[in-house]
Structure 1
Amino acid sequence: MSIKHQLIDNFDPNGVSTHNALFGLPFDAESAEMIIIPVPWEVTVSYSSGTADGPEAILGASLQVDLFQDDIKDAWKMGVCMLPIPQDIANKSSNFRVLAKSYIDWLESDSPEEEEERFAAVPDLINKACVEMNEWVYGQAKKYRSQGKMVALLGGDHSTPLGLIKAISEEHDNFGILQIDAHADLRVSYENFEYSHASISYNALKFPQIEKLVQVGIRDFCEAESIMAKENNRITTFYDKELKKESYEGKAWKIICDEIIDQLPDEVYITIDIDGFDPKLCPHTGTPVAGGFELEQIMYLMKELVKSGRKIIGFDLVEVAPGPEGDEWDGNVGARILYRMANLYGASQGRLDLK
């Protein structure tokens, strides 16, 4: 009997888990079929901080998630394991965040000339640190994907998945990205930071393997991003305002989901910024925006994507930030999204059966 089967036989999915691991599951990186890479990084955040603590908050809240899925039999048996939260990445994030915030404050105070020399080198320092973070993510993704593992990422801010997307682009000649988000994230750079959380979609499109970027729920964007989305035939944007209008006028969410899915190629990477949801589900995220989706709306979209025959080749969940001490709401919601997405990823890969 394999080690994995022994772990399954000795685990009660209906009881109280004694495993202080993601979702209380008994699996490790060897026995799990899916690896979650935690990336506690938020150097370039431009509003509220806290997303670097997202992986830890979700890990803690995940112990309260029931494992039963009524449409995916024995989903937990696939095995999901989150790698240890890398303290060195967290420390670098904290250190460079102080530097970045000082620079942002200087920009917002109209860049006083007397301090220009002091801040001149900051963008290059921050960009270099972000490159190193991206390369670390890339290395982790390559390591576990080479072992036949499914790999997902848990941020941190929205700059963190670029290394995973790079690794996937080296293995797939043609794929699409489905982006759930309040923001377009199409800025060439933001606050002079090339790898800003506000530039992830622009940076991802540098990989020629990405045939299509389909953005859903966008409701906060600048004019330059609007022009780029309109003029770039690789981008299709479903704006929150228009989706709401269609819904108010009687169009069913099922039909809207079909239209979204029709824009995607056969293989799809999914990036979920928690601020794509209604802020009541993520009140402490870094840049909340009124509007957005209910949780089950997006989970319905994801299930329909899998039922369409499209294959999920990776995903991330980013921008979850815990509330004040004792407030686990954001982590609770994030954990439930993560568990459901992990199971749908497994179903799309044929490792689980979806009704």
Structure 2
Amino acid sequence: MLDLTNFDQNCVANPNNNIFGLPSTEENADLIIINVPWEVTVSYGAGTARAPESILKASMQVDLYDPDFPDAWKRGYYLKPTDRSVLLKSDFLRKEAELYIDYISKGEELGKNQFMCRTIKEVNEGGTYLNNWVYEQAKALLDDNKLVGLLGGDHSTPLGLFKALAEKHGEFGILQVDAHCDLRKAYEGFVYSHASIMYNALNEIPELKNIIQVGVRDLGQDEWEFIKNSNYRVVTYFDQEIKERQFEGDTFKNIADEIISKLPQKVHISFDIDGLDPKLCPDTGTPVPGGFELDRMFFLFKKIVESGRQLIGFDLVEVGTGETDWNANVGARALYKLCNILAGSNQ
């Protein structure tokens, strides 16, 4: 076990240390963050595959004192290094997917082009490979009694973690912070598309009791029909709905309490950074006007713990990489709060 008794949290972060400047290793840290550099199916902006490395660098500027969880960091946090073979596979398949998306966007028929038929097959096989890769890592860590988070990469990346958590914990729910529903079936022909993560989770994980979505402001008719016919397995708090309730005098505390009341005892937080106001994440893959300030989400996350529910895992995805470090700066602070809440919820 990592002994941080004499670690000076007020000193300048050592860049040779791990995430947030902590001298952690995979063996001695209690909380391990799986690094998933994958963005094969992104349908607009790219760059999130390299977000973990950017966030690691930016994390050295995050002060460790958190008044809500002042000693949580002493559990030890460790970000696994980038697996270059996964990143290279993502880069290769991303180029293939771009050609395919361009082809179908022009109304061309898939069956008339053998190259495109092979491309979609390879991309879908890549998605299966990635899911298994994440699952095996998450399962091994959970079997070793580690707390596990995931840093993407696009939003397709945490499915393997969801499956490992289901095996470990049984019934659980997901709090999904997102500008999108991600309930499309095989979006653009990609079975494990970033826009299909919650559809796949609901169909492949029977232990997943429900998904409570907050901040959604961009969806398709098919997704709305899915929500209406889900028998409350999906409950969506639209961004406009939340804001209109506040305009009418309701408080965000009341709304947060209502959201949390619909979650089961065990909760995973799936945090797509585009759930925030785009000024906080300008280079995320599919930005949408509207969204939350970061402090609203921190308040909501803290209330989950205060409600007596157990946070069993988290993922942070879709953080972009741009000309400045702003995306990584915000991403690092979101990641630190998620780590503290996961550690604080599992004393």
Q: TM-score, normalised by structure 2?
A: 0.97
CA positional deviation for 1:10: 4.3
Matches within 5 A, 1:188-337: 188-206=185-203, 207-233=205-231, 234-324=233-323, 327-337=324-334
Please tell me the root mean square deviation across aligned C-alpha atoms, in Å: 1.2
The SS at the match of 2:155 is coil
Tell me the amino acid that sits aligned with residue 214 of structure 1: I
- Aligned partner of 1:43 in structure 2 is 40
Match of 1:165 among 162, 166, 169: 162
Q: Does the C-alpha gap of structure 1 residues 75 and 173 become closer, same or farther in structure 2, counting only changes over 3 Å?
A: closer
The 8 Å contact of residues 68 and 75 in structure 1, kept in 2 or not, is answered as no
What is the Cα deviation at residue 204 of structure 1? 0.6
Q: Which residue of 2 aligns with 1:348?
A: 345
Please state whether the residue corresponding to 2:258 is helix, strand or coil: helix
Verify the 8 A CA contact 2:104 2:110 in the aligned structure 1.
Answer: no
1:68 matched to 2:65? The reply is yes
Q: 1:155 to 1:114 in 2, by over 3 A?
A: closer
CA distance in 2, matches of 1:112, 1:183: 28
Match of 2:12, SS state, is: coil
Contact 1:137 1:161 in 2 (8 A): yes
Secondary structure of 1:154 counterpart: strand
- Which secondary structure does the structure 2 equivalent of 1:170 belong to? helix
Could you tell me whether the CA contact under 8 Å between 2:17 and 2:24 is conserved in 1?
no
Alignment of 1:89-168 (within 5 A): 89-111=86-108, 116-168=113-165
Q: Tell me if 1:85 matches 2:74.
A: no
| Residue 13 (str. 1) matches residue 9 (str. 2) | yes
Q: Which runs of 5+ in 1 are unaligned?
A: 351-355
Residues 280-325 of structure 1 show CA distances to partners (whole Å, capped at 9, x for unaligned) of 000000000000000000000000011000000111000001112x
Tell me what 2:25 maps to.
Answer: 28
Tell me the SS of whatever aligns to 1:322. Answer: coil
2:2: which partner in 1? 4
% identical equivalent positions: 50
Partner Cα distance (2:85, 2:111) in 1: 34
2:57 aligned with 1:57, yes or no? no
In the TM superposition, residue 172 of structure 1 has moved relative to its aligned partner by 2.2
- Contact preservation (8 Å) 2:183, 2:198: yes
Q: Shift in Å at residue 71 of structure 1?
A: 2.3
* Distance of 1:141 and 1:45 partners within structure 2: 23
User: 1:121: how far off?
Assistant: 2.1
Closer/same/farther in 2, CA of residues 194 and 113 from structure 1, 3 Å limit: closer
d(CA) in 1 for partners of 2:227, 2:282: 28
Q: 1:175 aligns with which of 172, 191, 194?
A: 172
Provide the secondary structure at the position in 2 that maps to 1:245: helix
Q: Distance in 2 between matches of 1:146 and 1:299?
A: 29
Q: 2-side partners of 1:112 and 1:241: how far apart? A: 38
Gaps of 5+ in 2: none
For 1:157-179, what per-residue CA distance to the aligned partner results, in whole angstroms no more than 9, with x for missing partners?
Answer: 00000000010111222111110
> Contact 1:177–1:212 (CA<8 Å) still a contact in 2?
yes
Kept in 1: contact 2:111–2:117 (CA 8 A): no
| C-alpha distance in structure 2 between counterparts of 1:323 and 1:230, whole Å | 37
Which stretch has the larger CA shift, 143-152 or 106-115?
A: 106-115
For residues 162 and 71 of structure 2, what CA distance do their matches in structure 1 show?
Answer: 29
Supply the AA of the counterpart residue of 2:277.
D
Q: Is the 8 A contact 1:57 1:321 kept in 2?
A: no
2:103 and 2:314 map into 1 onto residues whose CA distance is 35
Q: What is the DSSP-based 3-state SS (H/G/I as helix, E as strand, rest coil) of the residue aligned with 1:215?
A: strand
One-letter amino acid of the structure 1 residue matched with residue 346 of structure 2: Q
One-letter identity of the residue aligned with 2:128: V
Runs (4 or more) in structure 1 with deviation over 4 Å come to 112-115
Q: State the Cα distance separating 1:124 from its structure 2 match.
A: 1.6
Residue deviations 1:190-219 (CA, integer Å, cap 9, x gap): 110000000000011021101111011111
